[in-house]
């Protein structure tokens, strides 16, 4: 029982020390957005049957934030987070994006690139052979994945190259409506 206050004191000192160390570091932040809306017509994902879109109601986006922490001029860690208006991210797309970024921004550690999807059910198909997509007259999966990777890689490069001193904080709020595609 007498060790409990000692443990709390040690934990508090470690947290204070850790915050003090972080405060001495520098945080660089960059952001970019890419339009990933496909050319039409295109097969849509998110249902159990094939749907072909012939019109666009709203554009699809990939939003990128690049964060790098530095201490004494050295980059101890970084992360590049990308949110895409897609149903999900395939390994094929992730690999293509990382390869394109590797060529465009050689100093960026591409294993630190994280892609996620907003999980909209009206996004282009990114999985080969998931639906019987007509061979002609409709954007093909491989064609869209290549276009997507180019656009996302370009936005990552832009975000990375535009990094500037920044900060991170938190907030609490309430959203009464989500944007549903």
The answer on pLDDT for 114 being more than 70 is yes
Give the position of tokens 């892609």: 115
What is the C-alpha to C-alpha distance for residues 133 and 44, in angstroms, rounded to an integer? 10
Q: In this prediction, what percent of the chain has a pLDDT beyond 70?
A: 83
pTM of the model: 0.82
**Residue 174's pLDDT band (boundaries 50, 70, 90)?**
confident
Domain ranges of the chain: 25-165
- Coil, strand or helix at 133: coil
Outline where 41-135 has alpha helix (H). 91-104
Residue 40 has a pLDDT of 95
Q: Which of 42, 89, 40, 44 is nearest to 62 (CA)?
A: 89
- State the pLDDT at residue 1: 46
């Amino acid at each position: 029982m007498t060790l409990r206050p000692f443990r709390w004191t040690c934990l508090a000192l470690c947290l204070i020390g850790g915050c003090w160390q972080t405060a001495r570091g520098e945080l660089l932040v960059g952001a970019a957005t890419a339009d990933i809306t496909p050319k039409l017509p295109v097969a849509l994902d998110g249902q159990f049957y094939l749907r072909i879109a012939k019109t666009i109601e709203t554009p699809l986006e990939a939003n990128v934030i690049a964060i790098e922490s530095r201490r004494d001029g050295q980059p101890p860690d970084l992360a590049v987070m990308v949110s895409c208006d897609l149903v999900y991210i395939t390994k094929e797309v992730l690999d293509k994006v990382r390869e394109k970024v590797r060529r465009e921004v050689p100093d960026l550690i591409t294993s630190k690139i994280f892609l996620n999807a907003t999980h909209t059910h009206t996004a282009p198909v990114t999985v080969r052979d998931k639906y019987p997509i007509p061979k002609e007259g409709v954007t093909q999966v491989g064609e869209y994945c290549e276009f997507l990777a180019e656009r996302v890689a370009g936005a990552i490069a832009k975000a990375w190259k535009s990094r500037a001193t920044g900060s991170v904080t938190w907030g609490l709020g309430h959203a009464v409506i989500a944007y549903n595609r």
